[in-house]
Amino acid sequence: MNKLEMTEAIMTAKSSMSVTWEEAGSAIGASPVWLASACLGMNSAPAKTAAAIAEYFSLGEEVVAALEAYPTKIWDQAVPTDPLIYRLYEVVGVYGETLKEVIQEKFGDGIMSAIDFSMDVAKEECPKGDRVVLTLNGKFLPYKSW
């Protein structure tokens, strides 16, 4: 079973169980964003978590193996077209240099890791319209001379 088939199996189970990523994550012991990324095939799950995910969705050994497999992370659109994803891309384009300025002033020459990294989505209720709050948390990696 490859990652695509795995995703389809999990999405079907999730839909028939009518659970959210938040509910599933809290039952399994994983954050909703990471859980969704693993189920969509963009992260591998540790053995124990893979077993817990498969059990939660009442799926078999093949799904466990597919969840544990190390993914090759490929995306087709250099510039994404879906409006939700494009807006994130736009943030990188508009604020990329700004973030470089502010982060490197605060931390020195280096980068925020996208590997030693976590992310969270929260809802901020607001009378003028609710707000999405994304939090990205990545280790600072300094450049070194040698």
Residues in contact with its own copies, shown as a per-residue x/- string from 72 to 91 under the rule CB under 8 A: xxxx-xxxxxxxxxxxxxxx
Least distance from its own copies to the Cβ atom of residue 58, Å: 20
Residue 119: which region, alpha, beta or left (left: phi > 0; alpha: psi -120 to 50)?
A: beta
Catalytic site residue from 5, 16, 58, 87 = 87
4 binds its own copies (CB under 8 A): no
* CA–CA dist 95, 105 (Å, integer): 15
> 131 catalytic, yes or no?
no
61 binds its own copies (CB under 8 A): no
Considering only residues 126 through 145, tell me which ones interact with its own copies, judged by CB under 8 A: 126, 128-145
Least distance from its own copies to the Cβ atom of residue 13, Å: 15
> 44 catalytic, yes or no?
no
Structure tokens at 71: 């993914």
126-131's contacts with Cβ under 8 Å and 24+ in sequence apart are none
> 68 catalytic, yes or no?
no
CB 140, CB 110: distance < 8 Å: yes
Least distance from its own copies to the Cβ atom of residue 7, Å: 10
Question: Which residue's structure tokens are 């995703």?
Answer: 7
Taking the mean position of all CA atoms in its chain, how far away is CA 91?
17
Catalytic amino acids?
Answer: 87, 90, 113
